[in-house]
């Protein structure tokens, strides 16, 4: 076993070792090249495929801990499968569950393996194997034939809906992930296909081929979204593979075997524009494989700035390895001569702490990173929020299908050409149910800007040096270098920064800008407090207007343009591009460079001068898509082109419209589509594209737009909420302010001066909004009383019933499974996301002060839940919380409240009592039937038995059949 764990290094040093017992032996007993390896999603198994035609599964416990003596570990080797008739070139476990293992071989076959859990399957051995008996048995489940040459790579989609396989026949075959039937064969490549990777969202797939291209495939129609050639024109065909990898946040693809200035690099493709402008340099030979760590990490640089970063490992034919943090311009680990031969494959463990690599020399290397070396791992939920901005994005031209649509395009193009259209826009995301629309801010840019002089200018660059660590003097030792190099920064005549590329030979060097600051919304009120609101629907928003003159705008002023905030002291990058003879740029030339113009802030409304609340408006961008709504928009940056809105179904355009102002937000469903613009215009369309009504002029630009059924919710930048029944054209709420929701509370705030943020918003099928705040509160609007009501409050964390999911007094969760699906439970989960531990801790502190507090708050909490379920029209939750309330009343022997509850449910007993206004039903439940179900609960406390008996008698009196009246008798004298 080769080990690299020097005693003179600190305890936090990375541990590198080579387990000799992980190997494949050929017929002569020599090590066979290991072409591929992959760790099971649960981190317990490692699969390897090699030239000996076998697939082996190893126990990761013995690999992840070098202190375990593998020679005495009985289960170090779990299974050997020998079905392929040729070298096994690729192995991949299915995503998330690892139920299947896919392997590809040069016998042109893809095998699907599944664990056989039957008792008679254990203890077998593979004929001709020296690994001992199999501890597990993995049997061939499916045999997929279709390739006409070696299968070089297999890859599962993130949801396991598809399995892709690539081969030296220049083809990619897409298989159904369940039935494993062939769906389609992709044959656009003209050379050997040697690498596949999936978009984490599952919207695209990328492939890399010896035809010196990378192709991005759309999953919707399996057509090529974009063909990328530039970084690979000088690439060689000498690599066994071109294994590329997609970043976990979905924004970038790192590819193998690229060249820049005749130097081998790993090219980075940006998802925003599909350009490969960034290069990871430092290797002496072509890059064979790259692999992203599955997790995102939070970092803090020397200046105290924090952000998110992903980590990628690069393996080359020069036998060297580099590991990069995408927030830094240089790799933080560089290892030379790690193997005797070229890298062939790499993978990370699911926890992101261990990297494994295999080589043509038949060895496997394990690199274990110490705790904290990579940074603080970001929760999966935050990564999902970052993926959401790409999950609803669709690129590719959509054409009008009818002559009428084409005529409409030509007619509107002339009138829309004069609009202000100089921005780009991120896609926003709709919300189903009560999920978070305003999520925590995330780093929008994991990779920094490119450094080449042919690429866009940088706003800043990280140049902090790191100390070097000397290498160990051993026979062919791994040499670990923490590179510290400065790069030359120059300022061009136009004021842009250019960074001279620096090739470091065996070292590594690349200039990348740090991640951009998080996107936030700022709410300000005359009371002096400000409220920071996260990017609700993954739409990038500018800062609230601060340039409104005191006393308001003159009537002739349309709006005030806000200046873009400088980034790290650089000049504003989002200012509109000037046109005219003064800069010598013609309109046509500007139009061709629109995609390179940074987004700008939207023009603010004059109403913001007197508004109590100011919300950030989505920044204007060139493209916005809403896949669920079937909508996409293309805004012009310079005004040379119109603002185009396209509605499509199944990839086919249904209608097209042109608007005079750049589009900010879009939403829609099967009943209607809605679009809001920078000038405050709101346009509503039928499914066929017909305008349902004239343009609605909002008081200010919208910051949020959501829909459900026939209802539309709009929140404007001045903090006013409106909901409408679009089909009936009736207002449910009309310009109701959210300022009452933003009052800070001492127990909910992180500090005394902390502000309150809107964290989620949606509209229900009755047209009423649901909003949650960063203080953990949840609100809805009481239509009858015309007020906001707080239906979720973290103050009730003191209650013994406060938990997720809710539970009854006995602690039984079984009867409350459906409770989680109710709107109140979902709203509580959305409001309390990330706060539960803090609020419970605060509650425990108060409970130590007053012993009677919990009892009182518990009753109040249950009463609040019952009333909230009634306001939210949630009959199931109402009934369940009513039962909890009865249990608590019985537990505390609260006689007065028990009598009040029973009287409320029983109602009048005698004839004529109905005139009191008592209603027999509530939320569809018969009140007396509810009482009948609750009386046994109340009877658990014998001190209440008289009350129970009294109201049981009352129930019997009002529910038994009416007695026939006695016949009248006539009497006489």
Q: Give the CA count within 13 Å in the CB-facing half-sphere of 950.
A: 8
Over 80: is that where the pLDDT of 173 sits? Answer: yes
pLDDT at 156: 94
How far apart are the C-alpha atoms of 554 and 663, rounded to whole Å? 26
CATH 3.40.630.70 at 15-389, yes or no: no
Across residues 9-31, what is the average pLDDT? 80
Domain positions in the chain are 15-389, 606-737, 895-959
Question: pLDDT tens digit string along 338-351?
Answer: 888 999 999 999 99
Query: How does residue 855 score in pLDDT terms, banded at 50, 70 and 90?
Result: confident
Cα dihedral 711, 712, 713, 718 sign: negative
pLDDT at 551: 36
Question: Residue 725 — φ and ψ, nearest 5°?
Answer: -90, 100
Which range (19-23, 434-438, 789-793) has the least confidence?
434-438
DSSP character at residue 591: H
Question: pLDDT tens digit string along 122-160?
Answer: 445 444 455 667 888 899 989 999 999 999 999 999 989
User: Is beta strand 182-186 parallel, antiparallel or unpaired with respect to 921-922?
Assistant: unpaired
Cα dihedral 133, 134, 139, 140 sign: negative
Between 126 and 438, where is the model more confident?
Answer: 126
pLDDT at 448: 34
Cα dihedral 936, 941, 944, 945 sign: positive
Across residues 499-521, what is the average pLDDT? 36
State the CB neighbour count (10 A cutoff) for residue 530: 17
Question: pLDDT tens digit string along 775-792?
Answer: 888 899 998 899 999 998
The CATH class for the domain spanning 606-737 reads: mainly beta
pLDDT at 496: 52
Sheet order of strands, 34-39 included: 34-39, 45-50, 55-59, 77-81
Nearest to 685 by CA among 640, 735, 726: 726
Question: pLDDT tens digit string along 184-229?
Answer: 999 999 999 999 999 998 889 999 999 999 999 999 899 999 999 9
């Amino acid at each position: 076993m080769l080990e690299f764990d020097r005693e003179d290094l600190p305890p936090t040093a990375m541990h590198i070792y080579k387990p000799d017992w992980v190997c494949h032996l050929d017929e002569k007993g020599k090590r066979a090249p290991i072409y591929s390896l992959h760790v099971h999603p649960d981190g317990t198994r490692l699969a390897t495929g090699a030239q000996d035609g076998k697939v082996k599964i190893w126990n990761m416990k013995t690999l992840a801990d070098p202190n375990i003596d593998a020679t005495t570990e009985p289960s170090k080797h779990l299974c050997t499968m020998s079905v392929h008739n040729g070298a096994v070139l690729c192995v991949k476990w299915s995503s998330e569950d690892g139920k299947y293992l896919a392997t590809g071989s040069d016998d042109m076959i893809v095998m699907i393996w599944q664990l056989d859990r039957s008792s008679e399957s254990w203890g077998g051995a593979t004929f001709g194997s020296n690994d001992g008996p199999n501890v597990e048995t993995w049997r061939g489940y499916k045999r997929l034939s279709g390739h006409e040459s070696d299968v070089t790579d297999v890859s599962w989609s993130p949801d396991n809906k598809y399995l892709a396989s690539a081969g030296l026949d220049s083809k990619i075959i897409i298989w159904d992930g369940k039935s494993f039937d062939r769906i389609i064969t992709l044959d656009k490549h003209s050379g050997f296909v040697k690498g596949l990777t999936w978009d984490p969202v599952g919207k695209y797939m990328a492939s890399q081929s010896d035809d010196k291209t990378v192709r991005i495939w759309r999953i919707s129609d399996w057509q090529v979204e974009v063909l990328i050639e530039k970084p690979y024109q000088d690439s060689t065909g000498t690599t066994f593979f071109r294994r590329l990898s997609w970043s976990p946040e979905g924004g970038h693809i790192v590819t193998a075997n690229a060249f820049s200035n005749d130097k081998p690099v790993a090219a980075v493709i940006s998802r925003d524009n599909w350009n490969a402008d960034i290069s990871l340099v430092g290797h002496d030979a072509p890059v064979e494989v790259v692999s992203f760590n599955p997790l995102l990490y939070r970092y803090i640089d020397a200046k105290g700035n924090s952000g998110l970063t992903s980590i990628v490992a690069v393996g080359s034919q020069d036998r060297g390895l580099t590991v990069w943090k995408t927030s830094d311009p240089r790799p933080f680990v560089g290892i030379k001569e790690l193997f005797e031969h070229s890298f062939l494959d790499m993978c990370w463990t699911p926890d992101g702490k261990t990297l494994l690599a295999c080589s043509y020399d038949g060895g496997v290397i394990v690199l274990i990173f110490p705790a904290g070396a990579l940074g603080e791992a970001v929760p999966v939920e935050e990564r999902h929020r970052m993926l959401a901005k790409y999950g609803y994005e669709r690129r590719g031209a959509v054409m009008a299908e009818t002559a009428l649509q084409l005529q409409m395009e030509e007619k509107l193009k002339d009138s829309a050409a004069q609009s202000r259209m100089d921005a780009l826009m991120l896609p926003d995301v709709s919300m189903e149910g009560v999920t978070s629309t305003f999520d925590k801010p995330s780093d929008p840019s994991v990779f920094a800007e490119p450094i080449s002089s042919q690429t866009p200018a940088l706003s800043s660059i990280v140049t902090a040096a790191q100390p070097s660590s000397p290498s160990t003097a051993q026979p062919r030792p791994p040499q670990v270098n923490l590179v510290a190099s400065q790069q030359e920064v120059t300022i061009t005549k136009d004021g842009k920064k250019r960074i001279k590329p620096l090739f470091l030979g065996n070292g590594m060097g690349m200039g990348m800008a740090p991640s951009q600051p998080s996107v936030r919304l700022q709410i300000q009120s005359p009371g002096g407090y400000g409220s920071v609101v996260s990017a609700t629907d993954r739409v990038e928003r500018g800062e609230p207007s601060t340039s409104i003159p005191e006393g308001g705008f003159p009537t002739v002023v349309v709006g005030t343009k806000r200046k873009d905030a400088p980034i790290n002291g650089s000049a504003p990058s989002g200012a509109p591009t000037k046109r005219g003879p003064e800069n010598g740029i013609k309109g046509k030339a500007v139009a061709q460079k629109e995609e390179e113009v940074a987004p700008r802030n939207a023009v603010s409304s004059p109403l913001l001068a007197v508004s109590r609340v100011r919300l950030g408006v989505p920044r204007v961008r060139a493209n916005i898509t809403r896949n669920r709504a079937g909508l996409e928009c293309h805004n012009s940056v310079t005004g040379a082109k119109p603002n185009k809105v396209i509605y499509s179904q199944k990839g086919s355009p249904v209608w097209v419209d042109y608007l005079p102002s750049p589009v900010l937000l879009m939403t829609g469903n099967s009943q209607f589509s809605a679009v809001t613009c920078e000038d405050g215009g709101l346009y509503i369309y039928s499914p066929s594209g017909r305008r349902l009504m004239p343009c609605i002029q909002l008081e200010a630009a919208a910051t949020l737009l959501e829909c459900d059924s026939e209802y539309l919710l709009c929140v404007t930048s001045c903090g006013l909420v409106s909901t409408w029944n679009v089909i009936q054209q009736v207002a449910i709420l009309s310009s109701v302010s959210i300022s009452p929701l933003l009052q800070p509370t001492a127990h909910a705030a992180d500090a005394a001066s902390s502000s309150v943020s809107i964290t989620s918003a949606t509209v229900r099928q009755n047209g009423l909004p649901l909003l949650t705040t960063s203080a953990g509160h949840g609100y809805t609007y009481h239509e009858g009383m015309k007020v906001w009501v707080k239906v979720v409050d973290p103050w009730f964390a003191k209650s013994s019933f406060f938990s997720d999911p809710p539970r009854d007094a006995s602690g039984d969760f079984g009867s409350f499974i459906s409770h989680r699906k109710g709107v109140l439970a979902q709203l509580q989960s959305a409001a309390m996301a990330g706060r539960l531990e803090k609020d419970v801790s605060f509650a425990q502190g108060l409970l130590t002060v007053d012993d009677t507090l919990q009892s009182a708050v518990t009753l109040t909490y249950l009463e609040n839940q019952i009333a909230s379920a009634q306001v939210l029209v949630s009959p199931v939750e109402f009934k369940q919380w009513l039962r909890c309330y009865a249990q608590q009343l019985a537990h505390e022997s609260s006689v007065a409240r028990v009598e009040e509850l029973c009287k409320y449910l029983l109602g009048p007993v005698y004839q004529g009592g109905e005139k009191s206004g008592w209603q027999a039903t509530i939320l569809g439940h018969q009140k007396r039937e509810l009482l009948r179900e609750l009386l046994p609960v109340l009877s658990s406390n014998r001190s209440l038995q008289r009350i129970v008996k009294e109201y049981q008698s009352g129930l019997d009196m009002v529910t038994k059949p009416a007695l026939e009246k006695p016949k009248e008798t006539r009497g006489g004298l």
